[in-house]
Amino acid sequence: MHHFRQHFHRCCGIQKQMLRAWESLSNIPLSDLNRGLFFGFKNLLNQQRLLSSPIVASP
């Protein structure tokens, strides 16, 4: 359980950093480039979720 909590906090810390980076990026007016970047960022988050789920599921 302790290992799970450590992993969870580490993931949250990474996501907070990514959100902070995204907030600074989102100040830029939304162009086609930024729209592409946004969808790339969403894909990255989805991939991270898929990659981290087996780790969380294992005891």
* Tens digits of residue pLDDT in 11-53: 667 778 877 877 777 666 666 667 777 788 888 888 877 776 6
Regarding pTM above 0.85, the answer is no
SS3 of the chain: the string is: CHHHHHHHHHHHHHHHHHHHHHHHHCCCCCCHHHHHHHHHHHHHHHHHHHHHHHHHHCC
Q: One-letter amino acid identity for 58?
A: S
Q: Could you tell me which residues come within 8 angstroms of residue 34 by beta carbon, excluding any fewer than 6 positions away?
A: 25, 28
Alpha-carbon Rg for the chain, nearest whole angstrom, is 14
